[in-house]
Structure 1
Amino acid sequence: MTTEPTAGALPREPLGDPRLLRLVAGQGLAGLVDALFLIWLTLFVLELSEPGIATGLVLVAAALPRAALLLPAGVLVDRLGPAHVVTGASWLRFAVLLALCALVTFTSPSVTAVALLAALLGVADAAYFPAALALLPAVVPTEKLPRVNALVQGAESGGDLVGPAVAAGVIAAVGFDATLGGIAAMAALAAVALDTFVRAVRRDEDAGHAAGPDGIDGEQPSSARALGAGLGYAWREPLVRGMLAAVALINIAVVGPVIVGGAVLADQRLGGAGSLGVVLSGFGAGSLAGSLSAGGRPPARRGWAVAGGVAAIGAGVAGLAAVTHVVAATAVVSLVGLGSGFLGVVVVATLQERVPKHLLGRVLSLVVLATVAFDPLSYLIAGVLLPYGTTTLFLVCGSAVLAGAALVAASPAIRSLR
């Protein structure tokens, strides 16, 4: 049994505490590493081989272990505690990036070798993401969770906003080897920040918790039973089930249409494929604004705010059907980002507050899974609808999200949320 940092370990005003700034900096740097590495990996594989299936296979190699291991990782978080898992996963991420850096610098790597290390990084990510979300309620007072979530997710949104352009520019200036070295150095800084934060809180805490991971007289059930307990809880609780369904619907109806449909839209109506980067920057800016606004003054009627955030995303996707200029498209996509950033903070903070602590890792692993597992389906839907035109694609997908907003508003468990 492990001893985790507790909320009482931090002062009543945590945003002024330098230890908490380490947590925000560590998680923000980790998000920036993710954004930079994805661009680096894509461009590097294109350098190694002709454009085509190899690039897709390497990206799948990175994404598949992450999606497949998220739920078992949630069990691990609840069993070992989020502090242990987040620091271990952070150092593993750095070690993999360092190994890849050595491989790229001193050898002529094959696509297969790069794919294997990318898969190992996906394993580390599967442990890191739910642990990072579960760590906050273990060390932050409940009333401060929305504000701290906003800072963390705002820092991650900032990485999404600047990451692609920075990665491409640095690679052009100094090459793949030096760029990857810089990414690995940032991963090390993230690991140090999170590790020292956890150690500082542990030194100052007065007492830890002693309950078993599933509250069964301190006994640890089997991993399969523990996973079943988490899935059963998420299914039985209308609030958790409704929020997970909303996140999954948004992922299915937004990711593929915006990425795939956006590329076609840029080429057909917005002056060329190069305008897609400008449009997608609007998503990053909107997401940053949404994250920060959700952490300002918490909405008095949180359930209606959730429904409004889903509706904003649906309206933005549907609005892409009518745009004919890059400025208008960027503004509309920023609305999608605004709703996404706002929902990310509100949904995660709500679950952190209300899910029993011994199940939190498993439930938050479901949230992460809902945001990444349906990407292939979303791309497939975009491919099926694109022959009918981008107008049809965006109207159908936007309408689906708007219908989801109506269902969210009709759910008593979510509508009554304060």
Structure 2
Amino acid sequence: MTATLIPPAPARAHRDPNVLRWLGAYTSSMLGDNVYYLALSWAAVQSGTPAQAGLVMSASALPRAVLMLGGGVLADRLGPRRVVIGSDAVRCAAVLAVAALLFLTRPGLWPLALLACAFGTVDAVFMPAVGALPARITGTDQLARVQGLRGLAVRAASVVGAPLGGLGVALGGAPAAFALAGALIALSLPLLLSVRVRELPAGPAGSERGATARADLKAGLRYVRRHRVLGPLMIAIALGDLGFVGPLNVGLTLLADHRGWGAAGMGWVLAGFGTGAGAASLLLAARGRLPRAGLVTGCACAAGSVAVGALAFVPGLAAAVATALLVGLLTGLSGALCGALLQTQADPAYLGRVTAVSSLVSLGLTPLSMPFAAAAAGTFGLGPVYTVSAAVCGLGGLVFLAVPALRRAELPG
């Protein structure tokens, strides 16, 4: 699969057919992911106890975290498009195989656990490659807009995916839902095959000829650590996510139960957050560039942390929905700008490894805060937990404001 050298895209990203083919493939793959997770949850609950179902749902986390950095090396060595195509093909085959197995027999939990482990393993390769691909399909001046489009795709997939998965379960049970997930992932393959990618420019590359994978990994970590923007950016991302994940996930469930909002009320709060985050992605997709991006990101993260803390103290459901809307807008804006800065500041030859470090921080380490947040809420109450979480989140904004190179970082115009 040979990469095709293309010139910088003359059109804006949302009008570039090459970017739109990539966006269609990414959206289809994310839709398949959402349907898959619902199908896996349903099948696990039907086949075992709640505790066993929880183990199946979490089985993908360990291989994903352990192998993520290696996945970044693979993306940089083989090229992101090739890795994304291979990852989607493997995921599609695994999901369809389990769908066929569940249709023919009732094998219990073991194929579901194996599927979850396989998904986690492939995700460790898929995520860094997905992060490295935009820099190879469009110009640097369009990467911020692509980041906004990607955020919109994620929001759309999360909104549409769950009803689609539920429809699949209603029509044919878990086998039909898994088959639908596989079909959606398969739809991304012809689109990805039609995407043209840019060769890396000649000159110093992120992988020396004959270097081992371990040497490449060390070179990538050294590159991140020494970079004047990327190093502090990773710290800011880690702090922001660490303070945000607990309150939005387990904290929100406990808060809705404590206030008597019920599942419907929690759904409204999540809808408010999703609307705000979607609006932030739309803003970045439409504008393409915000001046003084580093400063704006730090201010949005700091203000968003205050809104996160306020969620525990608002008096009623309507106020909570409005606050969640503000949280989504501010943290969505800061998150999208963090992604855009990562895309534009990193050398494309290192982008797979850089994305792997960022993904490991966001998806491998920050979820560990959830059990601690739940335990602390039971001991100290929700107010102190939200306050501490907001303070940690706010530290991410302070890193942006305190580090000159990060505060002055700009997006290409």
One fold, TM greater than 0.5?
Answer: yes
Tell me whether 1:399 sits opposite 2:391 in the alignment: yes
Check conservation: 1:313, 1:336, Cα contact below 8 A.
yes
Alignment partners' CA distance in 1, 2:370 and 2:314: 21
Check conservation: 1:79, 1:213, Cα contact below 8 A.
no
Task: Map 1:302-321 to 2 at 5 A.
Answer: 302-321=293-312
Matching residue of 2:28: 29
Give the letter aligned to residue 17 of structure 1: D
3-state DSSP of counterpart to 2:60? helix
Change (3 A) 1:271 1:153: closer
3-state DSSP of counterpart to 2:313? coil
Check conservation: 1:7, 1:138, Cα contact below 8 A.
no
Alignment partners' CA distance in 2, 1:268 and 1:300: 42
Task: Map 1:2-401 to 2 at 5 A.
Answer: 4-6=3-5, 8=7, 10-52=9-51, 54-197=52-195, 201=196, 209=201, 213-214=205-206, 216=208, 219-297=209-287, 298-387=289-378, 388-401=380-393
Cα offset, 1:226, TM superposition? 0.7
Alignment partners' CA distance in 1, 2:76 and 2:257: 47
Match of 1:413 among 399, 405, 409: 405
CA-atom RMSD, angstroms?
A: 2.2
3-state DSSP of counterpart to 1:398? helix
Cα offset, 1:338, TM superposition? 2.1
Check conservation: 1:160, 1:284, Cα contact below 8 A.
no
Check conservation: 1:291, 1:342, Cα contact below 8 A.
yes
Alignment partners' CA distance in 2, 1:139 and 1:105: 40
1:40-92 superposed Cα distances (whole Å, 9 cap, x missing partner)? 2122211111212x122112212221121110010011111111111111111
Alignment partners' CA distance in 1, 2:220 and 2:233: 15
Q: TM-score, normalised by structure 2?
A: 0.92
Greater Cα shift, 14-23 or 169-178: 169-178
Check conservation: 1:266, 1:274, Cα contact below 8 A.
no
Cα offset, 1:165, TM superposition? 4.4
Check conservation: 1:130, 1:365, Cα contact below 8 A.
yes
Check conservation: 2:241, 2:366, Cα contact below 8 A.
yes
Alignment partners' CA distance in 2, 1:315 and 1:5: 47
3-state DSSP of counterpart to 1:295? helix
Greater Cα shift, 232-241 or 332-341: 332-341
Cα offset, 1:304, TM superposition? 1.0
1:309-345 superposed Cα distances (whole Å, 9 cap, x missing partner)? 3124312210111123222222222333223432333
Change (3 A) 1:167 1:132: same
3-state DSSP of counterpart to 1:374? helix
Count of residue pairs the alignment pairs up: 408
Cα offset, 1:234, TM superposition? 0.9
Check conservation: 2:26, 2:188, Cα contact below 8 A.
yes
Check conservation: 1:5, 1:208, Cα contact below 8 A.
no
Change (3 A) 1:215 1:377: closer
1:235-269 superposed Cα distances (whole Å, 9 cap, x missing partner)? 11231122111221222222122211111111111
Cα offset, 1:6, TM superposition? 4.5
Alignment partners' CA distance in 2, 1:286 and 1:6: 38
Q: What is the percent sequence identity of the aligned residues?
A: 33
Give the letter aligned to residue 310 of structure 1: C
Alignment partners' CA distance in 2, 1:257 and 1:60: 19
Greater Cα shift, 162-171 or 64-73: 162-171
Change (3 A) 1:87 1:211: farther
Cα offset, 1:275, TM superposition? 2.4
3-state DSSP of counterpart to 1:8? coil
Alignment partners' CA distance in 1, 2:39 and 2:303: 32
Give the letter aligned to residue 231 of structure 2: R
Give the letter aligned to residue 42 of structure 1: S
1:363-390 superposed Cα distances (whole Å, 9 cap, x missing partner)? 0111111110124421132123202111
Alignment partners' CA distance in 2, 1:61 and 1:137: 32
Q: TM-score, normalised by structure 1?
A: 0.91
3-state DSSP of counterpart to 1:373? helix
Give the letter aligned to residue 325 of structure 1: G
Alignment partners' CA distance in 1, 2:408 and 2:204: 32
* Structure 2 unaligned spans of 5+: none
* Structure 1 unaligned spans of 5+: none
Check conservation: 2:311, 2:323, Cα contact below 8 A.
yes
Cα offset, 1:161, TM superposition? 3.1
Check conservation: 2:87, 2:126, Cα contact below 8 A.
yes
Cα offset, 1:346, TM superposition? 1.7
Give the letter aligned to residue 253 of structure 1: G
Alignment partners' CA distance in 2, 1:17 and 1:404: 34
Cα offset, 1:210, TM superposition? 5.3
Cα offset, 1:12, TM superposition? 4.0
Greater Cα shift, 162-171 or 249-258: 162-171
Check conservation: 2:31, 2:157, Cα contact below 8 A.
yes
